[in-house]
Amino acid sequence: MVMSSSYAKRFQLGGYVRVEQFLAPEVCELASRYARMKQHVEPGRVDPQVPRFAYSVYGDPLMESLAETVWPRIEAIIEESLWPTYTYYRVYATNAVLKPHMDRASCEVSASICLGADHGEAAPEGSNWPLWVKSLEGRDQSCRMLPGDIVIYQGCDLVHWREAYQGKWQVQVFLHFVRQNGPFATLAKYDCRPALGMPMSTRDEGQCAKLVKLEWLRSHTRHLRLRQQPR
């Protein structure tokens, strides 16, 4: 097994790291069944980022409990101290596409975990549907994940995306964090909510506005710095 220090080095240099079998099969099976059952009993949740082809839930108590449980393990892998912000899970359907994007401030460090999938006739070619990232070194990297595998990446700094899904369904959970010693730590902890597990309606709007402003200032400063570098 690769030692955590090697994972941490990859994360620092490339901005992401993939770890196989991060979650036990039983945990994945439970969470995947739960997500698909909730899709049937609470339908109608539209995901604006993947319109028509994904069911999504913000801050689900089960997934937030999962984030709280694995939080120390993620810290150990990347060798950084983190605060959890929020979770988000999707049940992707056939033809789902995730366009290239970077995440908001509360996703400074993100973890994407495959919980389960049915690739149907698309397997094996369509199996292990990859998450693509543009590394800090400037290379497009394909991260394929079986259930239980995790990709930890710097969500605010790495462009990431998914090409069209050809399988039947795939359940993916995203666990988001900020660095305890980072610029967003004070404002973004729990994503401006009183605690994990609380609904989005409990977010402090004043705190959210300050976070958005801080995020813009950081992005603008970085853009200016890059423009000033010698070519």
In the predicted model, what is the mean pLDDT of residues 175-192?
Answer: 96
Residue at 44: amino acid letter: G
Q: Which two tokens stand for residue 114?
A: 């495959």
pLDDT in tens, 52-77: 899 999 999 999 999 999 999 999 99
pLDDT of the residue at 72 = 98
- Note whether 57 and 86 are within 8 A (CB): no
Confidence band for 217, pLDDT divided at 50, 70 and 90 = confident
- Note whether 39 and 174 are within 8 A (CB): no
Confidence band for 1, pLDDT divided at 50, 70 and 90 = very low
Q: Which of 181, 9, 171 is nearest to 78 (CA)?
A: 9
pLDDT in tens, 73-123: 999 999 999 999 999 999 999 999 999 999 999 999 999 999 999 988 766
pLDDT of the residue at 143 = 95
Count up the domains in the chain and report the number.
1
In the predicted model, what is the mean pLDDT of residues 38-62?
Answer: 92
Domain of residue 160: give its range: 4-228
Q: Which two tokens stand for residue 171?
A: 């359940």
Residue at 206: amino acid letter: G
Edge to edge, the sheet with strand 16-19 lists 16-19, 150-153, 109-118, 169-179, 82-93, 54-58
Residues whose CB is less than 8 angstroms from the CB of residue 64 and which lie 6 or more positions away in sequence, other chains included: 84, 86, 87, 196, 197
Neighbours of 150 (CB within 10 A): 24
Q: What CATH number did the domain enclosing 195 receive? A: 2.60.120.620
Of 15 and 230, the one with more pLDDT: 15
